[in-house]
Amino acid sequence: MNHRHLLLMSSSRKDQLGYLEHAHAQIHALLQHRQQQVVFIPYAAVSFDYERYEDMVRPVFEQLGYGFSSLHRHADPQAALQQADAIAVGGGNTFALLKRLQDAGLMSVIQDRVRQGAPYIGWSAGGNVAGPTIRTTNDMPIVQPASLRGLGLLPFQVNPHFTPGKPPGHNGESREERLAEFLALNAPEELVALPEGSALLVEGDQVQVLGERGALHFRPRGEVLTLHEGKRFALSRIQGPADMAGWPDFLPPN
Amino acid sequence: MNHRHLLLMSSSRKDQLGYLEHAHAQIHALLQHRQQQVVFIPYAAVSFDYERYEDMVRPVFEQLGYGFSSLHRHADPQAALQQADAIAVGGGNTFALLKRLQDAGLMSVIQDRVRQGAPYIGWSAGGNVAGPTIRTTNDMPIVQPASLRGLGLLPFQVNPHFTPGKPPGHNGESREERLAEFLALNAPEELVALPEGSALLVEGDQVQVLGERGALHFRPRGEVLTLHEGKRFALSRIQGPADMAGWPDFLPPN
> Pairing state of beta strands A215-218 and A191-195?
antiparallel
A105, A102, A71, A74: which is closest to A86 by C-alpha?
Answer: A71
Q: What is the pLDDT of residues A6-36, one digit of tens each?
A: 999 999 999 999 999 999 999 999 999 999 9
Q: A247 — contact with chain B (CB < 8 Å)? A: yes
Across the interface, whether the CB atoms of A143 and B133 are under 8 A apart is answered: no
Any domain includes A254: no
CB pairs under 8 A between A and B: 126
Any domain includes B232: yes
What's phi and psi for A52, nearest 5 deg? Answer: -65, -40
What's the CATH code of the domain at A26?
3.40.50.880
* pLDDT at residue B226, rounded to an integer: 97
* pLDDT at residue B250, rounded to an integer: 41
Q: A93 — contact with chain B (CB < 8 Å)? A: yes
Nearest to B140 among A136, A147, A161 (CB): A136
The boundaries of the domain holding residue A106 are 5-166+173-237
Q: What is the pLDDT of residues B144-158, one digit of tens each?
A: 999 999 999 999 999
- Contact in structure between B137 and B128 (CB atoms under 8 Å): yes
* pLDDT at residue A23, rounded to an integer: 97
Omega before residue A59 within 30° of 0, cis: no
* pLDDT at residue A1, rounded to an integer: 61
How many whole angstroms separate alpha carbon A222 and alpha carbon B165?
A: 29
Mean pLDDT of chain B: 93
**Considering the entire predicted model, what is its pTM?**
0.94
Q: A148 — contact with chain B (CB < 8 Å)? A: yes
Q: B25 — contact with chain A (CB < 8 Å)? A: no
pLDDT tier at B252, thresholds 50, 70, 90: very low
Contacts of A224 (CB under 8 A, 6+ apart): A216, A217, A218
Nearest to B141 among A135, A165, A196 (CB): A135
pLDDT along chain A (254 residues), means of 10: 89 93 97 97 96 98 98 98 98 97 96 96 98 96 94 96 81 88 95 97 97 96 95 96 63 33
Helix (H/G/I), strand (E/B), else coil: B5 = strand
* pLDDT at residue A2, rounded to an integer: 66
* pLDDT at residue A100, rounded to an integer: 97
Question: Which of A14, A171, A189, A194 best tests the B interface by mutation, with the highest count of B CBs <10 A?
Answer: A171
Ordered alpha helix ranges (H), chain A: 24-31, 50-63, 77-83, 94-103, 107-115, 125-128, 175-185
Any domain includes B48: yes
Provide, rounded to the nearest whole percent, the portion of chain B with pLDDT above 90.
Answer: 87
Q: A186 — contact with chain B (CB < 8 Å)? A: yes
Question: Nearest residue of A to residue B247 by CA position?
Answer: A144
Poorest-pLDDT segment among A15-19, B37-41, B84-88: A15-19
* pLDDT at residue B167, rounded to an integer: 72
Any domain includes B90: yes
3-state helix, strand, coil in chain B (%, to 5): 30, 20, 50
A114, A75, A79: which is closest to A202 by C-alpha?
Answer: A114
The identity of residue A134, as a single letter, is: I
Across the interface, whether the CB atoms of A142 and B178 are under 8 A apart is answered: yes
3-state helix, strand, coil in chain A (%, to 5): 30, 20, 50
Question: Chain A, 95-114: which have a CB under 8 Å from a chain B CB?
Answer: 96
How many whole angstroms separate alpha carbon A190 and alpha carbon A49?
A: 35
Q: How many domains, in total, are found in chain B? A: 1
> Is 60 exceeded by the pLDDT of residue B254?
no
Helix (H/G/I), strand (E/B), else coil: B105 = coil
Q: A74 — contact with chain B (CB < 8 Å)? A: no
> What is the set of active-site residues of B?
124, 139, 161
Q: Would residue A161 show up in a list of annotated catalytic residues for this protein?
A: yes
Q: B37 — contact with chain A (CB < 8 Å)? A: no
Across the interface, whether the CB atoms of A46 and B181 are under 8 A apart is answered: yes
Average pLDDT estimate for B237-250? 72
Cα dihedral across residues B51, B91, A246, A4: positive or negative? negative
The identity of residue B219, as a single letter, is: R
Any domain includes B33: yes
The identity of residue A44, as a single letter, is: A
Which strands sit side by side in the sheet containing B120-123, from one edge to the other?
B67-70, B37-41, B86-89, B120-123, B5-9, B199-203, B206-210, B232-234
* pLDDT at residue B115, rounded to an integer: 94
Ordered alpha helix ranges (H), chain B: 24-31, 50-63, 77-83, 94-103, 107-115, 125-128, 175-185
Any domain includes A127: yes
Q: How far is B34 from chain A (nearest CA, A)?
A: 31
- Which helix H or strand E contains A209, and what residues bound it? strand A206-210
* pLDDT at residue A167, rounded to an integer: 72
Any domain includes A32: yes
Any domain includes B156: yes
ipTM of this model? 0.92
- Which helix H or strand E contains B169, and what residues bound it? none
Cα dihedral across residues B48, B50, B52, B57: positive or negative? positive
Helix A50-63 crosses helix A24-31 at what angle (to 10 degrees)? 70
Helix B94-103 crosses helix B107-115 at what angle (to 10 degrees)? 90
